[in-house]
Amino acid sequence: MKLALGIESTAHSFGIGIVSFKGEILANEKEVFTTKHGGMIPSAVAEHHEKVKDKVLKQALKKAKITMQDISLISFSQGPGLSPCLIIGMNFAKQLAEKYNIPLIGINHCIAHLTIGDLMCKTKDPVYLYVSGVNTQIIAFAGGKFRIFGETLDLGLGNALDKFAREVGLGFPGGPKIEKLAKEGKYIELPYSVKGMDVSFSGIITKAIKLFKENKKLEDICFSIQETFFAMLAEVSERAIAHTDKNELLLIGGVAANKRLCKMLELMCKDRKASFKAVSLDYAGDQGAMIAWQGILEYNAGRKENLKIVDIKPYERTDDVMVNWKTI
């Protein structure tokens, strides 16, 4: 069986996945940087990745019951992401590629989220709602590229939730804690911020922090943040489905873990007679299997990389990437 190894290190997670060229996941191990208070300091996260990288590799090989000699391709997250973290992943990938004489490919992290979603959910040509820590984008494949139809004008959805959580002392990651508190909350009015196909979160977070300082119930604020943010995303996703005439919505990225978000999108899709799918939690957040799978798609389509000159691309956008492995 031909196997690829993928290394993810764009932000909080250091992950290694091992995937067969047929798309079977043999291992998907990761270590995640967390804090009790405060957020992510890039240098501290990079230090974390450096410390855990050998352990994660060992775990992944053990899980897949293979050795490095069984690997035919190595891919790593080239960007977008935090430069100090990307460098740890790239250098590790280069060391392994050199040591074991294996071809190496740099991968766009966002695209890998899309294609692992398609692999897992068997979607062919959906509108993607991609909601992670840093990213919030409504994407669809059109004219040879994954085009961004709408996006956040400031923070990513996950980071917006994390920012509020940090400010009110909930620690990192904040999204799951907000979801839990929201279950006990009631609606308080917040601003609603959709501009064309784009959304913005930071003004709403500022208002929410103000409400917290005015001693409004934290559960109510959490509930209202979720209802507002998710309604905004349902609105633009619905418009993207209508514009592109596609009939599937696929939710990807770490915030896909949120049950309330899934419920709201499911209801919207039902009304439009579109199908709604969310990537399962193991593959929604950052992990190495998606990097390995995207490596396989690009390698099979003829992509080659020069180990000597390959570098990180901290600011590469989804629509910067020419798609040569897809034929819709």
Query: Which positions touch Mg ion (CB under 5 A)?
Result: 132, 286
Residue 257: contacted member of ligand AMP, Mg ion, none (CB under 5 to 8 Å, by partner type): ligand AMP
**Segment near ligand AMP (CB under 6 A), from 53-61, 65-73, 255-263, 295-303?**
255-263
8-state DSSP, 196: T
Quick one: which of 257, 264, 268, 278 contacts ligand AMP (CB under 6 A)?
257
Spell out, one character per residue from 75 to 114, where the chain touches ligand AMP: x when CB under 6 A holds, - when not: ----------------------------------------
Quick one: which of 8, 179, 248, 305 contacts ligand AMP (CB under 6 A)?
179
Whether the CB-CB separation of 6 and 107 falls below 8 Å is answered with yes
Question: Of the two residues 26 and 131, which places its CB atom closer to ligand AMP in the complex?
Answer: 131
Q: Does 253 bind ligand AMP (CB under 6 A)?
A: yes
Question: Of the two residues 61 and 279, which places its CB atom closer to ligand AMP in the complex?
Answer: 279
**Least gap, CB of 303 to ligand AMP (angstroms):** 24
Residue 185: contacted member of ligand AMP, Mg ion, none (CB under 5 to 8 Å, by partner type): none
Half-sphere exposure of 302 (CA within 13 A, CB side): 5
Backbone angles phi, psi at 142, to 5 degrees: -155, 130
Residue 255: contacted member of Mg ion, ligand AMP, none (CB under 5 to 8 Å, by partner type): ligand AMP
Contacting residues for 293 by C-beta, under 8 A, at least 6 apart = 4, 6, 17, 19, 23, 112, 115, 116, 119
CA gap 212, 320 in Å, rounded: 40
CA gap 201, 180 in Å, rounded: 20
Nearest to 158 by CA among 139, 140, 137, 141: 137
Spell out, one character per residue from 117 to 156, where the chain touches ligand AMP: x when CB under 6 A holds, - when not: ---------------xx-----------------------
CA gap 109, 126 in Å, rounded: 18
As a whole number of Å, the end-to-end CA separation of the chain is 28
Contacting residues for 101 by C-beta, under 8 A, at least 6 apart = none
Residues in contact with ligand AMP, counted by CB under 6 A, come to a total of 19
**Least gap, CB of 283 to Mg ion (angstroms):** 11
- Provide the 3-class DSSP secondary structure of residue 263: helix
Footprint of ligand AMP on this chain (CB under 6 A)?
Answer: 11, 132-133, 158-159, 161-162, 173-176, 179, 253-255, 257-258, 285-286
